[in-house]
Amino acid sequence: MDLKYLNVRSEDGIAWVQFNRPEKLNALNPEVLRDLETVVARCEQDDDIRVVVLTGNEKAFVAGSDIGHMAKGDIKSAYGLTDLTMRAQERLADLPKPTIAAISGYALGGGCEIALCCDFRIAADNAVLGLPEITLGIIPGGGGTQRLPRLVNLAVAARMILLGESINSEEAHRSGLVDKVVPLDCLEEEVKELASKLIERPFLALRAAKTAMRKGMSTSLKEGLQIEQDLFCMLFGTADQKEGMAAFLEKRKPVFKGK
Ligand code: COA
């Protein structure tokens, strides 16, 4: 893959996607966003990849959109940038495989928004999360005003969005923004453990569960229940449903084949 600002390695079913623009704390410019969209599309197509992990470096997951780039912008270019951002992020949020944000250091602005598109967020104890856009005279433009209030309580979201205040990993954990906080040097191990558990799950059921949750969040309860019912019934046509239930009845561990 010809990528300028992302390092990608694939290991034991896990794609480790690392933002790699350290001199700018991994700030997102159009090239990074295009790289991200490309990588997510490849992860979707590659059957050997079962879980996608997004990560940065010790100092920064991603410190936001590139302010140097945005400073020269006008209304038209802002639409261009947000179109690109939304496309990459929607693709990530809709990826039919589980995604984990492994957050160390700064996850600000677009970085926090990318983490919000993932299914799981594991933070190192040095993580700082925030949406400081208001302090720059703008508002979050990559889903922050929509996804954050759906995840944490409104008072925390208001503090982050209206005041632009950042929060540390402990507060992010208390407010439900991150699932778990671990010492920085345990982050990779912790994420690997979570990814391994996800890989053990039956692939098609996992995909259906994610689709039901994600689609259900943006529709009415009635429509969401219909999506759930259809996916539930569809799974009765899979070999893994037969295996899962037979294994329970035979008091043994299931061996799922992803079919
Ligand atoms: N856009 C562009 N460049 C950025 C950036 C961003 N969002 N965040 C950091 N950088 C650059 C800095 O300009 C600096 O580059 P330089 O060495 O060429 O001057 C480099 O990354 C290192 O950052 P620096 O500010 O020196 O590190 P720090 O440890 O003193 O501070 C932060 C870290 C994250 C507190 C600070 O960089 C910051 O506030 N960044 C902007 C965060 C933000 O507002 N994000 C939302 C944007 S919409």
Q: Are residues 188 and 225 in the same domain?
A: no
The answer to whether residue 237 is domain-embedded is yes
Tell me, what amino acid is at 256? F
| CA dist., res. 147 & res. 145, Å (int) | 6
- The reply to whether 28 falls in a domain is yes
In a domain, 240, yes or no: yes
- Are 60 and 176 part of one and the same domain? yes
48 & 123 share domain:
yes
The confidence score (pLDDT) of residue 81 equals: 96
Give the per-residue pLDDT at 132: 98
Locate the ligand 1 atom nearest the alpha carbon of residue 109 and give its number.
46
User: In terms of domains, do 182 and 68 share one?
Assistant: yes
**What one-character-per-residue DSSP string does 41-100 give?**
HHHHH-TT--EEEEE--SSEEE--B-HHHHHT--HHHHHHHHHHHHHHHHHHHT-SS-EE
Residue whose CA is at the smallest distance from ligand 1 atom 21: 24
Q: What's the pLDDT score for residue 252?
A: 97
Pocket lining: 24 vs ligand 1, CB cutoff 6 Å: yes
Q: Report yes or no on 151 lying in a domain.
A: yes
Active site residue 223: no
Identify whether residues 172 and 206 lie together within a single domain: no
Q: CA-CA distance, 121 to 117, in Å (whole number)?
A: 10
Kindly state whether residues 235 and 167 are assigned to the same domain. no
174-194 per-residue burial string, b: 16 or more CB within 10 A, e: under 16: ebebbbebbeeeebbebbbeb
Q: How far is CA 243 from the centre of its chain?
A: 30
Pocket of ligand 1 contains residue 142 by CB under 6 Å: no
Same domain, 177 and 110: yes
At 230 the pLDDT is 98
Which residue minimizes the CA distance to atom 15 of ligand 1? 24
Catalytic residue among 11, 23, 133, 193: 133
If asked whether residues 41 and 78 sit together in one domain, one would say yes
Cα(63) to centroid(ligand 1), Å: 6
Mark whether 134 and 228 lie in a shared domain.
no
Query: CATH number, domain at 134?
Result: 3.90.226.10
Q: What is the mean pLDDT of each run of 10 residues along the chain (259 residues)?
A: 91 97 97 97 96 98 97 96 96 97 98 98 98 98 97 96 98 98 98 97 97 94 98 98 98 94
Token pair belonging to 19 = 């933002």
pLDDT of residue 139: 98
Q: What residues make up the domain containing 214?
A: 202-249
Give the pLDDT score at 2.
Answer: 79
207 and 138 belong to one structural domain: no
d(CA 7, CA 5): 7
User: Is residue 92 located within the same domain as residue 207?
Assistant: no
pLDDT of residue 31: 96
Catalytic pick among 113, 171, 190, 193: 113
Residue minimizing CA distance to atom 6 of ligand 1:
66
Domain co-membership, 128 together with 243: no
Q: Please confirm, yes or no, whether 133 is among the known catalytic residues.
A: yes
CA distances from 108 to 54, 138, 196 (A): 15, 14, 28
Within a domain: 86: yes
